[in-house]
Structure 1
Amino acid sequence: MASMFERIQGQVVLLDPGAGPGSLTAAFTDEAIKRLSIESITISTFEIDRVIHPYLQQTLDRCNDAFSENSIPANLNLYCADFINGAFSEGLFHASESYTHVIMNPPYKKISATSDHRRLLSLAGIETVNLYSGFVSLAIKQLVPGGELVAIIPRSFCNGPYYRDFRELITATCAIDHIHIFDSRNVAFAEDEVLQENIIIHLTKGKDQGRVVITSSPTSDFHLDHESDTVTASDMTIRTVDFGSIVYPNDKEKFFHIAANERDLAVIQKLSAFSSTLKDLGVGVSTGPVVSFRAKDDLRDAIGQTSVPLLNPSHLGLSVTWPKNGKKPNAIEVTTITKKSLWAHKGSFVLVRRFSSKEEKRRIVATLYESDLPGDLIGFDNGLNVFHIAKTGFDSILARGLFVFLNSTLLDKYYRNFGGHTQVNATDLKNLNYPSLDSLQRLGRRVGGNTPSQAEIDRFIDEEIFRMTGVDNNPLHAQRKIDEALSILVALGLPRAQQNERTALTLLALVDLPPNGSWAELKRPLLGVTPIMSWVKDSYGKEYAPNTRETFRRQTLHQFVDAGLCLYNPDKPDRAVNSPSACYQVALELFHVLVTFGTPEWNSQLKSWLDESPTLISQYAMSREMELIPLMLNGKTEIKLSPGAHSQLIHDIVTEFGPRFAPGAEVIYLGDTGAKEDFFEKARLAELGVVVDRKGKLPDVVLYWPERNWLLLIESVTSHGPVDGKRHGELAKLFSSCTAGLVYVSAFPDRKTMVKYLSVLAWETEVWVADAPTHMIHFNGDRFLGPHL
């Protein structure tokens, strides 16, 4: 988020409302200092939770120290107050333009119509229903012209009438510069149980609206790519679009349509063939009128002489299952009070559940109900949206047409482009465009009396659009090919880490299979990583960020080669590893299998290939023992370390570092994922005055050099940190009773890894790099390798 600001220079005034422990302020501080262009900075943080204040103050103190070290005048303030109340309180600040930058993760909570928040926001000309939109609106009003705001907020504001004023405020006062979306809320925000789909948005106040950068990522694993010096995430995509493709020029509602890639945009464009409204069709949609908690005394498990059927979400699938045993009622008594919420039980209704589960496959699921249960009245629970005409059912052909349209994959994909929450409201359904009456009746007649499959529903919609437009460009064909490729990856035994869209698209590129192509007509091109990514963009409309090349190489293509799915440099096997001409080609044996996909021969061909070529999952399981690194310790004990970079570095420390710099040293302890209990000379360490609980924080390797009476404490730095100031203090305390001199060493596999940690290495320590094993780097200045007393 901090990296998204375009300008951080001059006299900076930052607002962080709802600051929590100050993570965003700290990130902004790092970014501001890195850019070397600010003259001074004032920061205002607001946090209402007093439990968090000590942590926030600690963050501000550290930020202040960082500014001081860089000779930047700073004034950092912690306001122990609610941000909205604080905006109108004496002694803090008023709703005036005063901030150059805002970074925020605002609270998500509905605002009561009678609350102080609603009243205060109204004084500032802000009408909204949730704290997050209230925070952003108020912050926008306090930005100076040209000021920038970056916020992580729910996607729910993108559509619906409740956030119309908020959308109008954004589009009327700011330029949208950048939007980042997350492909899956249950991955990016799993620990927070977030039900909303969140986005990160970057706005600039008063700037002319230009093109908008849209990025996306499956997860929130943001990190700095050192080669490009840009922030990225795994499988990040990037595209730049005209603002008019996000907010349509003639859309009075100002809906935001955020398409992460060209394929999503194609869905939006294809569905634009349908332009009718429900009003045009003479059909209404309403929330079910029966509110269970208000009618709880009249709810029944079974229907009786004085009750009628009550339908709730548990009864719905593609058809109605009623009655149903469970916690939910199946009927409601007819009384003078409940009768007002019961409708005439005739004609056909279409029902849509208002709520979907956290990661349900479909957002909109419609059920056709043709009044075939007993009774003259019917009850619809408040958890349903009901399509009706004047509180009764309507023509069955029209209802079946609506059923087809609402259950189409094309509509579901479209809705997800601007419906950022799990709730589908009647208002959302009212604001959709629908096929014309003639189109719906044609679709309804195709259904007949049967319940069509999903494939049939999608074919009906595709053919109707083709009949209307004459254009055959269904973006769902691309998704179908990706799904087929994913199923092949699973069948071939690729591990779960490679069962993803990136790997599926790589497979499709290696066989040159476009969305409308056939598995029977595959090719075997020679492709490098960059050409693969370009092919994916051109053929499937997904543009991965340039700094994801290494992800393609290390997380997909390496596994393909290991599994025998493709060949590396088949045209020139002795080509240099770092050659720009490096390329991959699908293995001929696999090619002959893939061309049978979807035919009767597929299963037998796949079985034959798997019998001859073990799956990668099996290879990984078998190779664990094969790749164990034998290690002889002190000339008497042989153990095997688990495979991996960490273990290899430990091996190098014992076999390369020890003999060179501490010849004759004894191995006291080795830390390794697969052999942690296999080697620990507790008794020998105790002889040196150190009794350590097995769970103590020992370094990765401990060597004792009797000749010098030195104990070498060595950290193997591949994924964990080196001997920095904090670790030095921990080890010094842990080994404080040792009778030998202590030597602290950070070992790295190569200098590139070392550079990442150079700024935090503790003084009075040593550094050894495995790819230059005959050299040492001494972080002391007064002597070579040795203990410091």
Structure 2
Amino acid sequence: MLNEVESYRSEANSKLNQKTKPSLGQFFTPKPIALYMASLFENIKDTIKLLDPGAGPGSLTAAFTDEVVSRNCVTSLSIDAFEIDPILHPFLDRTLQACKKVLATRSVPANTSLQGLDYINSSLLNSFMQVEQKYTHVLMNPPYKKISATSNHRQLLRSAGIESVNLYSGFVSLALKQLLPGGELIAIIPRSFCNGPYYQAFRELIIETSAINHIHIFDSRNMAFSDDEVLQENIIIHLTKGKSQGTVTITSSPSSDFHLDEESGTITASDMTVRRVDFSSIVYPNDKEKFFHIAANDRDLAVIKKLEVFSSKLQDLNVSVSTGPVVSFRAKEFLKDSKDNNSVPLLGPSHLGLRVNWPKTGKKPNAIDITPATKKSLWANSGSFVFVRRFSSKEEKRRIVATLYEGELPGELIGLDNGLNVFHTGKIGFDPMIARGLFIYLNSTLLDKYYRNFGGHTQVNATDLKNLNYPSKDSLLRLGACVEDRIPTQMEIDNFIDEEIFRMTGERNSPMDAQQKIDDALKILILLGLPKAQHNERTALTLLALLNLAPDQSWSELQRPLIGVTPIMTWVREKYGKEYAPNTRETFRRQTLHQFVDAGLCLYNPDKPDRPVNSPSACYQIALELFHVLLTYGTPDWDSALAKWLQASPTLISQYAMGREMELIPLILNGKTQIKLSPGAHSQLISDIVTEFGPRFAPGAEVIYLGDTGAKEDFFDKERLAELGVVVDRKGKLPDVVLYWPERDWLLLIESVTSHGPVDGKRHNELAKLFSSAKAGLVYVSAFPDRKTMVKYLSVLAWETEVWVADAPTHMIHFNGDRFLGPH
């Protein structure tokens, strides 16, 4: 059903007016995000009443219905889906019908209602000051659109005691009021509500009425709605009305590829991190404005803590920040490409770098005429200013970039475009040394990292800059004294800030040390030729773990530990403050370590090459030749050492691959298909099942499936299994080996027991259910390497099954009371 509804979403998207879509906030929820949001509900049982305001084509409603079906605890489901745009009604209606159809197969009574109305108007127009509490669950992706103080929406919301400046906060606030006590609300909304005075009432409403259970943040602001190329800081928030506030789970992911993890049975995303924090670390107890501070990991939290040493406000410094006063489109007739005797310099975003670059050839004006109409918006060209660009048009490396201006342009007046945030004192410049210190602080990596946790806008507003804490006047003077005639480098700027913090606290450790090591590791991986898929923080941290290189160590202090996947993840958490979710273990193994081994960067099980692929002792070690190269990083010898390694690496990779190849167990299937299994008892037993068990007890049998072998790809004849009546989407549910014996028309379901369990009662029921549609008879077999291993499991082996032991291949043990080998 979700795939079907996803096709509705794509088709509906194409029908919309692409020019008006952004103004209406029509960005539909992709299937992976909808799947994840629905999975976050804690309680879905008994009688459910769901609200989906701004439903679009119904992706969230479909995901919720899917969750209802999978949990199988609901006695009835009622859905109110609001959608104001009539273009979307046919798609939403199809989704609601699909939901009812699926629920009917599970005998769940369903009542769906497509409300083709404005959610706010229809909810409040006839019920001033009284909002009915009627929903147990709310799942929403509300529209993102500012609402003016005089609008009908603003007045209606105010009548219900809701102060809102944007439709999204209005939708959430109203839905919270309509939620029954104990009801849950999950929404994907912009992060902009987390700070600033405009959303204080919204933050207070959340805190006063609900408990925050979970917040998910996206590492990149173009991830959540990438189909629509939307640059927006979005979060997913999960609230429970009336619940006492406990700890909050914060997850983050670099992408929105949410999917079902087979091993844990949970919805996850690649490289998802997870941490649980006290609510007091999100909303500080003494913060009257109730700002939300959301740190995805301990490293982000360390940035917040580090900046707490600076506690001054701009008013303490006698400095203000304002939007530039010249509104270019209103003064269009007075703008010029070049300055003359009747005009003054005009500075806009295009003129800003670390220094002012004026004049600049291009489409943007460089000057503005002095006229009675413009003179009131021109400021005195006196003293020093600091500028910060308001808007960023793409995913940029830095959010805050400050420009130092020290009055170097000609004239007594200057024009400042409203695309700038301007630090000033009474509309004139201020002390040059304070301005230089402010320039250093605003351009520090530490502040930029902090702002990304603090600021939820795609632009840097003057209000955000006012709400930041700043160094004291004395600190700014010291920082300003570090700036000479040339603009310092980023490394110098960060060192100036570190020295000032050290002077104030006596602490040297900086969270930026960790970031620098990660950046270094990424540069190295790119230089070593790793594919783009491995140019990410997870892979960089894995390299650092293989070298045991902590943030406060130098590249000359590298080591070569033997380390496994889980210890790597533990090391990353302890040393770099990033806790990956447990179900990302396979991502480390398959998307980083496999590539390291293939590229010759590290060795797999160098201490015991024949160790089983599924052994908990499996480990990796950086290649010795590369280790000696990395020791030179940051030294004059680095370039030549790297060049020599790159020249020799194809030979080294070939040697490593040859060594691994010698350890593999070759296996011919049906005389035509060859695969090579990784070394170890488990793979050896699977080989024995095919080469010893099959020919003796099911001669002429076809190999349908081999799994968990450590081969690059499991062998799976999916089409043949479908011909036999069994359609399986997820290989993880299959037994280790599936054979089909045409002569008897039997399917042999064989568990290879070296570390995992045999066919016990639970597994027998699972397999019987999975293969219930099979046309062939079913035979259940537990295979053991020897009788000693078998004895461990004797007490749990299921009746009506078979047992085969590889060290006595000509015999079988029958746990059948009335027949030998065969279906029961």
TM-score, normalised via structure 1 length: 0.80
CA drift at 1:748: 7.7
Equivalent of 1:146 in 179, 182, 198: 182
Secondary structure of 1:186's counterpart equals coil
In 2, the alpha carbon distance for the partners of 1:29 and 1:755 equals 30
Question: Against the structure 1 CA distance between its residues 525 and 42, is the aligned structure 2 distance closer, same or farther, given a 3 Å change threshold?
Answer: same
Contact kept in structure 2, 1:748 and 1:769, CA below 8 Å? no
Aligned residues: 682
Question: Against the structure 1 CA distance between its residues 445 and 58, is the aligned structure 2 distance closer, same or farther, given a 3 Å change threshold?
Answer: same
Equivalent of 1:573 in 609, 632, 635: 609
Aligned partner of 1:67 in structure 2 is 103
Aligned partner of 2:584 in structure 1 is 548
The letter for the 2-side match of 1:440 is L
Aligned partner of 2:293 in structure 1 is 257
Secondary structure of 1:537's counterpart equals helix
Aligned partner of 1:132 in structure 2 is 168
CA offsets 1:744-768 (integer angstroms, 9 cap, x no match): 9889899537699x9xxxxxxx999
Equivalent of 1:240 in 254, 276, 282: 276
Contact kept in structure 2, 1:15 and 1:44, CA below 8 Å? yes
Aligned partner of 2:457 in structure 1 is 421
Equivalent of 1:595 in 611, 621, 631: 631
The letter for the 2-side match of 1:494 is L
The letter for the 2-side match of 1:241 is V
Aligned partner of 1:740 in structure 2 is none
In 2, the alpha carbon distance for the partners of 1:179 and 1:365 equals 28
In 1, the alpha carbon distance for the partners of 2:542 and 2:536 equals 10
Equivalent of 2:439 in 395, 399, 403: 403
Question: Against the structure 1 CA distance between its residues 360 and 771, is the aligned structure 2 distance closer, same or farther, given a 3 Å change threshold?
Answer: farther
Equivalent of 2:113 in 71, 77, 81: 77
Which is worse superposed, 492-501 or 185-194? Answer: 185-194
Aligned partner of 2:355 in structure 1 is 319
Aligned partner of 1:2 in structure 2 is 38
The letter for the 2-side match of 1:387 is F
In 2, the alpha carbon distance for the partners of 1:21 and 1:619 equals 55
Question: Against the structure 1 CA distance between its residues 139 and 603, is the aligned structure 2 distance closer, same or farther, given a 3 Å change threshold?
Answer: same
The letter for the 1-side match of 2:732 is K
In 2, the alpha carbon distance for the partners of 1:617 and 1:171 equals 57
Aligned partner of 1:271 in structure 2 is 307
In 1, the alpha carbon distance for the partners of 2:512 and 2:47 equals 51
In 1, the alpha carbon distance for the partners of 2:747 and 2:225 equals 39
In 2, the alpha carbon distance for the partners of 1:59 and 1:661 equals 45
In 2, the alpha carbon distance for the partners of 1:201 and 1:467 equals 40
CA offsets 1:670-704 (integer angstroms, 9 cap, x no match): xxxxxxxxxxxxxxxxxxxxxxxxxxxxxxx9xxx
CA offsets 1:223-249 (integer angstroms, 9 cap, x no match): 111211111110000000111111111
The letter for the 2-side match of 1:56 is L
Aligned partner of 1:508 in structure 2 is 544
- 1:533 lines up with 2:569 in the alignment: yes
In 1, the alpha carbon distance for the partners of 2:241 and 2:452 equals 28
- 1:87 lines up with 2:123 in the alignment: yes
Equivalent of 1:752 in 707, 710, 732: 732
CA offsets 1:127-177 (integer angstroms, 9 cap, x no match): 111111111111011111111100011111111122111111111111111
- 1:220 lines up with 2:246 in the alignment: no
CA drift at 1:400: 0.3
Equivalent of 2:364 in 328, 333, 336: 328
The letter for the 2-side match of 1:475 is P
Secondary structure of 2:222's counterpart equals helix
Which is worse superposed, 583-592 or 183-192? Answer: 183-192
Question: Against the structure 1 CA distance between its residues 167 and 345, is the aligned structure 2 distance closer, same or farther, given a 3 Å change threshold?
Answer: same
CA drift at 1:6: 1.1
In 2, the alpha carbon distance for the partners of 1:215 and 1:66 equals 31
Question: Against the structure 1 CA distance between its residues 206 and 453, is the aligned structure 2 distance closer, same or farther, given a 3 Å change threshold?
Answer: same
Question: Against the structure 1 CA distance between its residues 274 and 749, is the aligned structure 2 distance closer, same or farther, given a 3 Å change threshold?
Answer: closer
Aligned partner of 1:291 in structure 2 is 327
Question: Against the structure 1 CA distance between its residues 313 and 533, is the aligned structure 2 distance closer, same or farther, given a 3 Å change threshold?
Answer: same
Structure 1's consecutive aligned runs of 4 or more residues displaced over 4 angstroms after TM superposition are: 89-94, 615-620, 638-641, 659-662, 714-717, 743-751, 753-756, 766-772, 776-784
In 1, the alpha carbon distance for the partners of 2:730 and 2:84 equals 47
Equivalent of 1:519 in 550, 555, 558: 555
Secondary structure of 1:302's counterpart equals coil
CA drift at 1:660: 6.9
In 2, the alpha carbon distance for the partners of 1:202 and 1:465 equals 37
CA drift at 1:74: 2.2
> Structure 2: 5+ residue runs without aligned partners?
1-36, 657-670, 676-689, 703-715, 739-744, 752-769, 779-824
In 2, the alpha carbon distance for the partners of 1:432 and 1:751 equals 52
Contact kept in structure 2, 1:750 and 1:771, CA below 8 Å? no
CA drift at 1:57: 1.5
Question: Against the structure 1 CA distance between its residues 85 and 750, is the aligned structure 2 distance closer, same or farther, given a 3 Å change threshold?
Answer: closer
Contact kept in structure 2, 1:353 and 1:365, CA below 8 Å? yes
Equivalent of 1:461 in 483, 497, 500: 497
RMSD: 3.7
In 2, the alpha carbon distance for the partners of 1:528 and 1:547 equals 15
CA drift at 1:190: 1.9
Contact kept in structure 1, 2:262 and 2:732, CA below 8 Å? no
Question: Against the structure 1 CA distance between its residues 549 and 385, is the aligned structure 2 distance closer, same or farther, given a 3 Å change threshold?
Answer: same
Contact kept in structure 1, 2:384 and 2:406, CA below 8 Å? yes
CA offsets 1:692-717 (integer angstroms, 9 cap, x no match): xxxxxxxxx9xxxxxxxxxxxx9759
- 1:359 lines up with 2:359 in the alignment: no
1:310-709 map, 5 Å: 310-614=346-650
Question: Against the structure 1 CA distance between its residues 38 and 94, is the aligned structure 2 distance closer, same or farther, given a 3 Å change threshold?
Answer: farther
In 2, the alpha carbon distance for the partners of 1:195 and 1:294 equals 27
In 1, the alpha carbon distance for the partners of 2:719 and 2:109 equals 40
Contact kept in structure 2, 1:747 and 1:768, CA below 8 Å? no
> Structure 1: 5+ residue runs without aligned partners?
621-634, 642-651, 663-700, 702-713, 724-742, 759-765, 785-789
CA drift at 1:66: 2.5
In 2, the alpha carbon distance for the partners of 1:248 and 1:368 equals 33
Secondary structure of 2:252's counterpart equals strand
Contact kept in structure 2, 1:155 and 1:418, CA below 8 Å? no
Equivalent of 1:119 in 134, 140, 155: 155
Secondary structure of 1:355's counterpart equals coil
In 2, the alpha carbon distance for the partners of 1:302 and 1:440 equals 36
The letter for the 1-side match of 2:140 is M
CA drift at 1:188: 3.8
In 1, the alpha carbon distance for the partners of 2:532 and 2:750 equals 33
CA offsets 1:379-431 (integer angstroms, 9 cap, x no match): 10010010110000011001000000000010000000021222111111100
Question: Against the structure 1 CA distance between its residues 198 and 349, is the aligned structure 2 distance closer, same or farther, given a 3 Å change threshold?
Answer: same
In 1, the alpha carbon distance for the partners of 2:321 and 2:385 equals 10
Aligned partner of 1:180 in structure 2 is 216
Question: Against the structure 1 CA distance between its residues 343 and 52, is the aligned structure 2 distance closer, same or farther, given a 3 Å change threshold?
Answer: same
CA offsets 1:25-81 (integer angstroms, 9 cap, x no match): 111112123223223221111011222212212221222222222222222111111
In 2, the alpha carbon distance for the partners of 1:618 and 1:362 equals 41
In 2, the alpha carbon distance for the partners of 1:138 and 1:755 equals 50
In 1, the alpha carbon distance for the partners of 2:230 and 2:546 equals 38
In 2, the alpha carbon distance for the partners of 1:184 and 1:166 equals 25
Equivalent of 2:342 in 306, 316, 321: 306
In 2, the alpha carbon distance for the partners of 1:610 and 1:272 equals 45
The letter for the 1-side match of 2:231 is L
The letter for the 2-side match of 1:226 is E
The letter for the 1-side match of 2:242 is G
Aligned partner of 1:169 in structure 2 is 205
Secondary structure of 2:293's counterpart equals coil
In 1, the alpha carbon distance for the partners of 2:572 and 2:536 equals 14
CA offsets 1:473-498 (integer angstroms, 9 cap, x no match): 20000000001111111111111111
Aligned partner of 2:798 in structure 1 is none
Contact kept in structure 1, 2:300 and 2:449, CA below 8 Å? yes
CA drift at 1:532: 0.4
